[in-house]
Chain A
Amino acid sequence: MSAAWRAGCAALLAAAAFGCVSGADDAGGGADGRKILRVAYEREIDVLNPFTSQNLADIQFSMAEGLVTTDEHNRYVPVLARVIPTERNGLIVRNADGSVDMTWPLHENVRWHDGAPFTSADVCFTWRFIVSTGSQTYNRDQYLGIRGCSAPDPHTVVFHWDGMYAYYDGLFEAILPEHVLGGMSTEEIVNDTPFNRGPAFVGTGPFRFAEWKAGEYIRVVRNDDYWRGSAYPAIDEIVWAFVPDANTRLNAMRAHQYHFARILPTQVAELEGVGGYDIHLISSNTFLHFDLNVNTERGRRLFGSRDVRAALFHAIDRRAIADLLMQGTVRVAETPIHPGNPYHYDAVPTFDFDPELARQMLDAAGWTVGPDGVRVRDGRRFAFTLLNRAGAADRIAVAQVIQAQLKDVGVEVRFETLESAAFTQRWRSGRWEAEVNAWFLPADPSLTGLYACDGPNNMTGFCDLALDAVMKASDRTAAFEDRKPLLDRVQAMLAAEAWSLPIYYNVVPEVVSRRIGGYRGSGTNFGSFWNLWEWTLDTPEGARTPDVRRALDATEVPDASGTGATPGAPR
């Protein structure tokens, strides 16, 4: 080899020796001992403004705070508000004309990242923005019940509602700065790049915006004037790296390149034996379900009868799906409302796996098995098409299991797989026969949007006016004692109707480095970073802080050697 060649090799090796193996876990901090938390995030967000963003995300909430947030028990906790108004504490007052006045007292020593004081004027400004036309806020209609906002003093804000709504305490998850955006029209705010993407974005949160390198990462740095005290936050910087490919994320965690990442349930077993992490199976408020649709003529013919639907559901072995296919990482679902939610109702009619019963019920309904193994009635075969979204691997896997299990009882299922946007368009048109899909439910357990006759997300064509009435009544009830029996009835009626079969509650496995302290994993849309302000990061030089708490429904999955994951079936 020539001298130049050898020199080149030597140089490369030297660079490798110096530069490599600087995995986040080994060199947790920057060169000067700064505590830098590295997160492998599964998608790049669109804008920083939490209200116009089409994907609510943890990144925005590390910088922007609102009146409330939710903890790992799905309970609302006040953030910028000092207390959450209730009738009991007198902050909610019902007026004679049916309207409701709601007073939110605010913390007093809060400053925006640019030093300006946070006041009630900011809250009213935020409301005005949300309800204005064109604000693009995804749950804008929930704010429409607020008819007026007044700020009697800089630290008190009063909302004038036209009635009582159950979800009032889940609104205003962020506040916008009036002193920055106040002079702009709604359209201007929505399109304002310096605020949406960059240096002009300010919040009141523990971290403030530092840098956004498109396609790569967002960097936030410590807010030295954070209102909770100079001790917080304990972390100097967070790098939210964008690693959308699930497999790359997994490999990055294996190589200890990040402190935190979310992976897929079927990847949990892959991290067995990898030291330095705990895996938390966070119950997300997402549940997978098998839906039938009666909008089409064939759909009506096949699925019009409740007994036939029930028969199909009895043919599906959900326990095998949860325990075997998903390797025990998920829990079978009987109702859309998650067990971690206080409104969850257990005593609904269930569809246990019983293929013999399914066959009997189908026989009784006049569907007899034909020569090719598929049931026939009036000369027509029991065959339908299941619509899949390309790329949704978990749902397609479940769909294949359902296909096989229904074949076993004489029902033929064909697949039609459409690319993502094409699928969405077809789904919204209602022209499909069956699907395996997932809903993400916010903390508020209202199901009206999904199952009401005129529910904006009810594409199945099913309609039950009695059920509608109960659902809408529950939406107008705020007090838990009054709402619970109503929602119990809703869940029981839904199950009895057998329109849609809940399959399992999804989990989002979060891989958390053992150097992190204060993590309290949560499956709400505020996510597991809801309490970032109190997180700590142990860098190799410092002492360990063993303060690791877990979410109620999260399962820590230790194995014998005390590291990594062994999937267990949470119950």
Chain B
Amino acid sequence: MSERGAGFGARLARHRLAVVSLGVLIVLAAACAAAPLLAPYPFDAIDLAHIRQPPSLHHLMGTDDLGRDLLTRVLYGGRVSILIGVLAALLGTGLGSLVGSLAGYFGGRLDNALMRLTDVAYSIPTLPLLIVLASYTRATAVPMALIIGLLSWMATARVVRGEVLALRETAFVEAARGIGATHGRIIVRHVLPNSVGPIVVGATLAVGNAIIIESSLSFLGLGVQPPTPTWGNMLMDAQSTMATKPWLTVFPGAAILIVVLAVNFLGDGLQDAMDPSARREP
């Protein structure tokens, strides 16, 4: 185990982009978490005399349509957006992996039932159902994250099931069964680790997806509501003035871009580092 662990660390370190991304994410998340300490202004400090000012010494990122300091809003907004992303991804991926591995491994009636459940969940296109649900959830971060997560497990479930189905027939799984390992042990020690690749890819995409979905909901006027800032609703508020006041969209948009990119590069690196082929040897 330690040998594999050491190999993992080394392989991850080789993936420079992933390492950089990890660093960026840590810094950003820390900055956002420390928003009350770092932010130069209170996040609701309205200043009507200085609406939509370009970046300056007083306001490093400029001000928004109510005169609030944009840097402050970006920092506070990050707390909400990142929280939503992580929470939704954890919920979605966890649920999806569970359903998918159970279905793929046991097959038969359980598989049928779980896949029927997945089908039902799929039958409703995500964004519309989100729109329906958003009209009765409170428009704050945690409920939003929950509904986004609840609607994202299906993709992971399907992919994991596919992987597990293929793995079920491989030699080493049969061997493990031959020596009397329990199903649970087989799933946890042999099957899941080999499907970790797609699960990790799924999870990182899910974080990014959740942040993007939140911004889509904001665009439709749902999502987390003012005055609570999220990168998504800040982007939405400023869309009319994109051409003449680009800083209002560039900063929150870039924030989303950087975080989602970083999370994806990291997932990429993690997947390469885990390198499933090393495990496929019996």
When A419-B135, A422-B135 are in contact, do A390 and B225 touch as well, CB less than 8 Å?
Answer: yes
Are the C-beta atoms of B48 and A324 separated by less than 8 Å? yes
> Does A234 lie at the interface of the complex (its beta carbon under 8 Å from any beta carbon of B)?
no
In whole Å, how far is B16's beta carbon from the nearest beta carbon of chain A?
Answer: 33
Which residues of B lie under 8 Å from residue A422 when comparing CB positions?
135-136
Q: Which of B45, B49, B51, B226: most chain A CB closer than 10 A?
A: B226
> Does B237 lie at the interface of the complex (its beta carbon under 8 Å from any beta carbon of A)?
yes
> Does B241 lie at the interface of the complex (its beta carbon under 8 Å from any beta carbon of A)?
yes
Are the C-beta atoms of A270 and B244 separated by less than 8 Å? yes
Which residues of A lie under 8 Å from residue B44 when comparing CB positions?
400, 403-404
Interface residues on A, range: 20 to 34
> Does B246 lie at the interface of the complex (its beta carbon under 8 Å from any beta carbon of A)?
no
Interface of chain B residues 120 through 165 with chain A (CB within 8 A)? 134-136, 139
Task: Identify B66's interface contact among A264, A270, A272, A325, CB under 8 A.
Answer: A325
| Complex-state Cα separation, A335 to B48, whole angstroms | 24
Are the C-beta atoms of A419 and B134 separated by less than 8 Å? yes
Which residues of B lie under 8 Å from residue A20 when comparing CB positions?
none
> Does A250 lie at the interface of the complex (its beta carbon under 8 Å from any beta carbon of B)?
yes
> Does A360 lie at the interface of the complex (its beta carbon under 8 Å from any beta carbon of B)?
no
> Does A269 lie at the interface of the complex (its beta carbon under 8 Å from any beta carbon of B)?
yes
> Does B46 lie at the interface of the complex (its beta carbon under 8 Å from any beta carbon of A)?
yes
Interface of chain A residues 292 through 307 with chain B (CB within 8 A)? none
Are the C-beta atoms of B240 and A267 separated by less than 8 Å? yes
| Complex-state Cα separation, A109 to B248, whole angstroms | 59
Are the C-beta atoms of B244 and A401 separated by less than 8 Å? no
Mask of B233-246 contacts with A, CB within 8 angstroms, 1/0: 00001011101100
In whole Å, how far is A386's beta carbon from the nearest beta carbon of chain B?
Answer: 11
In whole Å, how far is B248's beta carbon from the nearest beta carbon of chain A?
Answer: 12
Which residues of B lie under 8 Å from residue A156 when comparing CB positions?
none
Mask of A77-92 contacts with B, CB within 8 angstroms, 1/0: 0000000000000000
In whole Å, how far is A317's beta carbon from the nearest beta carbon of chain B?
Answer: 8
Are the C-beta atoms of B136 and A396 separated by less than 8 Å? no
In whole Å, how far is B51's beta carbon from the nearest beta carbon of chain A?
Answer: 6
When A247-B240, A401-B66 are in contact, do A417 and B48 touch as well, CB less than 8 Å?
Answer: no
> Does A125 lie at the interface of the complex (its beta carbon under 8 Å from any beta carbon of B)?
no
When A270-B241, A404-B46 are in contact, do A397 and B65 touch as well, CB less than 8 Å?
Answer: yes
Which residues of A lie under 8 Å from residue B95 when comparing CB positions?
none
Mask of A413-433 contacts with B, CB within 8 angstroms, 1/0: 001011111100000000000
When A404-B44, A422-B136 are in contact, do A247 and B65 touch as well, CB less than 8 Å?
Answer: no
Are the C-beta atoms of A415 and B240 separated by less than 8 Å? no
Chain B facing A: main interface SS: loop
Which residues of B lie under 8 Å from residue A391 when comparing CB positions?
220-222
Which residues of B lie under 8 Å from residue A264 when comparing CB positions?
240
Which residues of A lie under 8 Å from residue B139 when comparing CB positions?
390, 417
Interface residues on B, range: 20 to 34
Which residues of B lie under 8 Å from residue A325 when comparing CB positions?
48, 51, 65-66
> Does B227 lie at the interface of the complex (its beta carbon under 8 Å from any beta carbon of A)?
yes
Which residues of A lie under 8 Å from residue B243 when comparing CB positions?
254, 270
Which residues of A lie under 8 Å from residue B239 when comparing CB positions?
247
Mask of B157-196 contacts with A, CB within 8 angstroms, 1/0: 0000000000000000000000000000000000000000
> Does A171 lie at the interface of the complex (its beta carbon under 8 Å from any beta carbon of B)?
no
Task: Identify B244's interface contact among A269, A327, A397, A400, CB under 8 A.
Answer: A269
> Does A60 lie at the interface of the complex (its beta carbon under 8 Å from any beta carbon of B)?
no
Are the C-beta atoms of B65 and A266 separated by less than 8 Å? yes
| Complex-state Cα separation, A270 to B136, whole angstroms | 35
Are the C-beta atoms of B222 and A419 separated by less than 8 Å? yes
> Does A320 lie at the interface of the complex (its beta carbon under 8 Å from any beta carbon of B)?
yes
> Does A246 lie at the interface of the complex (its beta carbon under 8 Å from any beta carbon of B)?
yes
In whole Å, how far is A494's beta carbon from the nearest beta carbon of chain B?
Answer: 27
Interface of chain A residues 238 through 264 with chain B (CB within 8 A)? 246-247, 250, 254, 264
Task: Identify A415's interface contact among B45, B49, B135, B227, CB under 8 A.
Answer: B227
Which residues of A lie under 8 Å from residue B45 when comparing CB positions?
404
Which residues of A lie under 8 Å from residue B240 when comparing CB positions?
246-247, 250, 264, 266-267, 270
In whole Å, how far is A92's beta carbon from the nearest beta carbon of chain B?
Answer: 48
| Complex-state Cα separation, A397 to B226, whole angstroms | 9
> Does A393 lie at the interface of the complex (its beta carbon under 8 Å from any beta carbon of B)?
yes
Cβ-closest chain B residue relative to A246: B240
In whole Å, how far is B226's beta carbon from the nearest beta carbon of chain A?
Answer: 5
Cβ-closest chain A residue relative to B134: A419
Interface of chain B residues 236 through 275 with chain A (CB within 8 A)? 237, 239-241, 243-244
When A266-B240, A269-B244, A270-B240 are in contact, do A390 and B222 touch as well, CB less than 8 Å?
Answer: yes
Which residues of B lie under 8 Å from residue A396 when comparing CB positions?
225-226
Which residues of A lie under 8 Å from residue B48 when comparing CB positions?
317, 320-321, 324-325, 401
Task: Identify A324's interface contact among B49, B135, B225, B244, CB under 8 A.
Answer: B49
In whole Å, how far is A231's beta carbon from the nearest beta carbon of chain B?
Answer: 41
Which residues of A lie under 8 Å from residue B135 when comparing CB positions?
418-422
Mask of B102-133 contacts with A, CB within 8 angstroms, 1/0: 00000000000000000000000000000000
Mask of B197-226 contacts with A, CB within 8 angstroms, 1/0: 000000000000000000000001110011
Which residues of B lie under 8 Å from residue A317 when comparing CB positions?
48
In whole Å, how far is A178's beta carbon from the nearest beta carbon of chain B?
Answer: 43
> What are the 3 A-B residue pairs with the smallest beta carbon separation, nearest first?
A391-B221, A419-B135, A417-B225
Which A residues have a C-beta under 8 Å from some C-beta of B?
Answer: 246-247, 250, 254, 264, 266-267, 269-270, 272, 317, 320-321, 324-325, 327, 388, 390-391, 393, 396-397, 400-401, 403-404, 415, 417-422
Q: Supply 19 further A-B pairs (C-beta < 8 A) apart from A247-B239, A325-B65, A419-B221.
A: A250-B240, A266-B240, A269-B244, A270-B241, A270-B243, A270-B244, A320-B48, A324-B48, A325-B48, A390-B139, A390-B221, A391-B222, A396-B226, A397-B66, A401-B46, A404-B45, A417-B225, A418-B135, A419-B222
